[in-house]
Amino acid sequence: MTGGKPVVTFGPMPSATRPSVYIETYGCQMNASDSELMLGALAASGYRAVAQPDGADVILVNTCAIRDHAEQRVLGRLGELKRHMGRDTVLGVTGCMAQRLGSALLERAPHVSLVIGPDGYRGLPALVDQARTGTRSVSAGFDPAEHYEDIRPRRAAGVKAWIPVQRGCDYRCTYCIVPTTRGPERSRRLPDVVREVQEIAGQGMTEIVLLGQTVNSYHDGTHDFADLLRAAGAVPGIRRVRFTSPHPNDFSDRVLDAMAATAAVCEHVHLPMQSGSTRTLRRMLRRYSREEYLACAGRLRAAVPGLALTTDVIVGFPGETADDFAETLSAVEAAGFDDAYTFRFSPRPGTAATRMPESEMVPDDVAQDRLHRLIETVRRGARGRNLALLGTSHEVLVEKAARRGDAVQARTRDFKTVLLPASEAVIGGYYTATLTGTTGSTFTGTVAPASEGRAPRFVPAVPLARSRAPLPLAAAG
């Protein structure tokens, strides 16, 4: 996820005579990718991106609807943005919240001119033009054929690229709004994905993240997710392949075999658990049991030695008992997660969970206490595993400057964050780092032993020559 702070997406800034657009993004990686897509569509129509809303001709807020808190923040932000608007500024709301609320957003925020859902971005330049003449518009239909293949995203400068391979979702988890806001599941054609990966590699990026709501259920009618992993990992110049978010039910033997055999696939899987109680999972309509989830985690670790697992967990789901929550805590300990996104249940209008009896709703104070206990359990386990890694060496990709001015932030293949003493000149490079300290969630490290009076030496890491052996279980197909 992009975290609690908005992500500002922008690219090169050509002539100041071109109309300007500012995009502010909330929510998940799919939203961040969609913002790059919108910026690409507008750039093709002559717009330039800017990093601040002041003076922008167009301001777009790309939104999330997965929790009520996210929507409330956006509504508050829309009010704040009024002071940045000029007389002719066009303010639009895009993304999942726009899809869910539709024309109601125009009523709640009279200064908003555009409301556009995830399948409406192709029409964005034309809708902006209409808004300039005073026409307020809503585009919130679903288009099952829309993958935006002819629109080139305008990606922010960085070392990795997000690549949507699937849109929508066919699962119907009772707490989740995504099928309502992003429509039914559909997958891009594998050749189209590979073409985009090749273009990214040609631009010098070496890490890709394949995106989908249940990404490992990818199927374009001919090729499945196993084929996609192998094809993406074989593109020259691509050194790391990640994917998010998978569903535990869709890790077929073929997918595990592809993960094992494709050296570029990183040793990290974000595997949403949501609850460790089979009873609660059944009410969530997750379609697996506690035992099946833990078995999936075991199969993944058998396929990919050294695999790190992260997850999502919800507490306070309607009907969750003290025993259910205790099972969640024990499942967290049994799975050995390296980190977790943890949430209190947030009822979303239109989901089945909101129709559960009021008597089953977990009181706020009980849910909050469970959240604190869950976070402590996750942190305790992660800290113990991280302490055991001190003194070990890992390949890292330097991603960006750290908030601390004399350091850069790097990432291991198994998704550990490492702060290294270096200048921004090393961003984009691969190095071998030794982990020297940890706060419990972040590591400090050094790239080579420093001789007395000399700075550490940054020597590029040699690409992995490893090829994991295919697993016998893949033969089942």
DSSP string, 289-347: -HHHHHHHHHHHHHHSTT-EEEEEEEES-TT--HHHHHHHHHHHHHHT-SEEEEEE---
pLDDT tens digits, one per residue of 131-159? 999 999 999 999 989 999 999 999 987 89
- At 77 the pLDDT is 94
d(CA 390, CA 397): 18
- At 2 the pLDDT is 43
- Residue 473 reports pLDDT greater than 90: no
Residue 151, both tokens: 């629109």
- Residue 15 reports pLDDT greater than 60: no
- Residue 266 reports pLDDT greater than 70: yes
- At 212 the pLDDT is 96
- At 203 the pLDDT is 93
Find the mean pLDDT for residues 208-212. 97
Find the mean pLDDT for residues 251-271. 98
Q: What confidence tier does 461 reach under pLDDT thresholds 50, 70, 90?
A: low
For residue 245, say if its preceding peptide bond is cis, omega within 30 degrees of 0.
yes
- At 65 the pLDDT is 86
- At 18 the pLDDT is 87
d(CA 237, CA 106): 46
Percent of the residues in the chain that have a pLDDT greater than 70, as a whole number: 90
- At 458 the pLDDT is 62
- At 448 the pLDDT is 63
- Residue 7 reports pLDDT greater than 80: no
pTM score: 0.89
Higher per-residue confidence, 183 vs 14: 183
Of these ranges, 78-82, 179-183, 368-372, the one predicted with the greatest mean pLDDT is: 368-372
Percent of the residues in the chain that have a pLDDT greater than 90, as a whole number: 83
Coil, strand or helix at 266: coil
- At 460 the pLDDT is 66
Find the mean pLDDT for residues 242-250. 97
Find the mean pLDDT for residues 362-385. 97
| pLDDT averaged over every residue in the chain | 90
- Residue 286 reports pLDDT greater than 80: yes
Find the mean pLDDT for residues 451-476. 46
- At 157 the pLDDT is 76
Which region, left, alpha or beta, applies to residue 285 given φ > 0 means left and ψ of -120 to 50 means alpha? Answer: left
- Residue 178 reports pLDDT greater than 60: yes
**Residue from 159, 100, 150, 101 nearest 121 by CA:** 150
Q: What confidence tier does 260 reach under pLDDT thresholds 50, 70, 90?
A: very high
Contacts of 295 (CB under 8 A, 6+ apart): none
pLDDT tens digits, one per residue of 196-209? 999 999 999 999 99
- At 109 the pLDDT is 94
**434: how many CB neighbours lie within 10 A of its CB?**
17
Higher per-residue confidence, 100 vs 457: 100
pLDDT tens digits, one per residue of 309-331? 999 999 999 999 999 999 999 99
Q: Tell me the residue type at 276.
A: G
- At 156 the pLDDT is 80
- At 470 the pLDDT is 34
- At 164 the pLDDT is 97
Would you give the distance in Å from CA 308 to the centre of its chain?
17
Structural domains in the chain plus CATH codes: 7-139 (3.40.50.2300), 390-446 (2.40.50.140)
